[in-house]
Amino acid sequence: MKYDHDNISPLDNRYANKISDLRQNFSESALIKIRFEIEIEWLLFLCTNLPKSFKPLSKESINKINKFKNNFDDKYVIKIKKIESITNHDVKAVEYFIADFFNKDNILKKYVHLIHFGLTSEDINSLSYAVLTKDGILLLINEINKVNKTLKNYSKKWSKIAFLARTHGQAASPSTLGKEFKVYTSRLDRELKLLKMIKPLAKYSGATGNFHTFEIVDDSINWPKINKKFLKQFKVEQNLFTTQIEPHDWIAEVSHSVIRINNILTDLSQDCWIYISNDIFKLKLNKNEVGSSTMPHKVNPIDFENAEGNFGISSSLFNFFADKLTKSRHQRDLSDSTVLRNIGLGFGYSAIALISTNKGLSKITPNLTSIEKELDLNWEVLTEAVQTLMRYEGIPDAYEQLKQLSRGSKLTQKSYKEFINNLNISDKSKNKLISLMPSTYTGLSVFLSKY
């Protein structure tokens, strides 16, 4: 893919090849194309579905129009942009471009008046952005699924690898790597389900959203029902109650959902970064990579750092979209128009972060030597188990006894077993505790990893 090194956004140069599908989906050309297609489909829809009110088109004319539509390319874009430079109106430029084609045909020129019939530009824009955003969500979900697949694989693969958990940064009851990755897959599964439930919405009801132009033409037609049927062609739901603009609440829902997904994976990236720092994970070496310009020994967790930064940019954009787009002065102002043009950026930065996350995950492997050593140095984490069984057997000051023994101190296997042997508890409980080790005190984590 060729890209311009002078573009201001890294999405269009440094990261261009990584998100080519999303860039294409949200490009200016894509926006012009979907507007163009909607205008043509609307004219065909009127003449096909309402033959009593609108003169039907011949099969030959329909084929000619469809050929014109299907031949959309960069030349069309250039011509439409040239018209826009004169009209200073992007949607009207598309209408004029189509009209120019129709006027060159003796039959089609009789239908020029039906191009953009009854519509305001926001009807076209509302449906256009609904389609682009709907398709963008699917592309983003594809990247999320790749990460989630890796996490689910690790959850099962590492289900039995015990390691020292930490709360407040301090040694805590051990877990397994598999179970900790399961937490993230569970969170992602839930958010993906919610994201997929969001229905894209559009308005198609003319100026100020009251079907004025439709009702004045033929009040015997159920225009809300007819226009809803048209929107269904694009797999978009109708928002019947709007001002001149669709209020974008559904885009806010999408934005908030993506923010939550970004946050889940930022949490993952930060945890993996710390696990690497604490030698829980080793990074696989790539002999051609450079970790530092001055320190040859370094192997850095750069992919997780890249992910964290780009998730942050994406969430900042989506937070603004959700906050801004749901507010408009009276029936219409244009402040949402320039904002909507940037919605692809939120998706793009999230996709870059997802790709970096998956790349980072592909480089990590459990550092079993370090994990086992850390567990063996922290026998005091078993005091939770000891206290629990002491309480179960009716010892009222169990917590205080264990606090005196272990707080701020290091237990060894020897001192731990000496303490257990001196406890006044049943042989059953004593045997449980004597046989316990930090590496085996993992509760149901193995079960949870595979659940």
CB-neighbour burial class of residue 170 (10 A; exposed 0-12, middle 13-18, buried 19+): exposed
Instruction: State how far the Cα of 29 lies from the Cα of 33, in Å rounded to an integer.
Output: 6
Please tell me what DSSP assigns to residue 295.
Answer: -
CA 81 to mean position of chain CA atoms? 32
- Other CB atoms closer than 10 Å to residue 164's CB: what's the count? 22
Instruction: State how far the Cα of 335 lies from the Cα of 321, in Å rounded to an integer.
Output: 11
Q: Over the Cα atoms of the chain, what is R_g?
A: 31
Give the length of the chain. 451
Question: Nearest to residue 255, comparing CAs of 129, 155, 81?
Answer: 129
Question: Nearest to residue 15, comparing CAs of 351, 258, 343, 313?
Answer: 351
Residues 6+ away with beta carbon under 8 Å from 95: 39, 115, 116
Residue 212: active-site member? no
Residues 6+ away with beta carbon under 8 Å from 82: none
Residue 61: active-site member? no
Instruction: State how far the Cα of 144 lies from the Cα of 181, in Å rounded to an integer.
Output: 15
Active-site residue (options: 20, 53, 58, 292): 292
In the chain, DSSP finds a helix count (H) and a strand count (E) of: 19, 6
Active-site residue (options: 5, 168, 297, 330): 168
| Pairing label, strands 237-238, 364-366 | unpaired
Question: Nearest to residue 89, comparing CAs of 65, 124, 113, 117?
Answer: 124
Catalytic residue numbers, as ranges: 168, 292
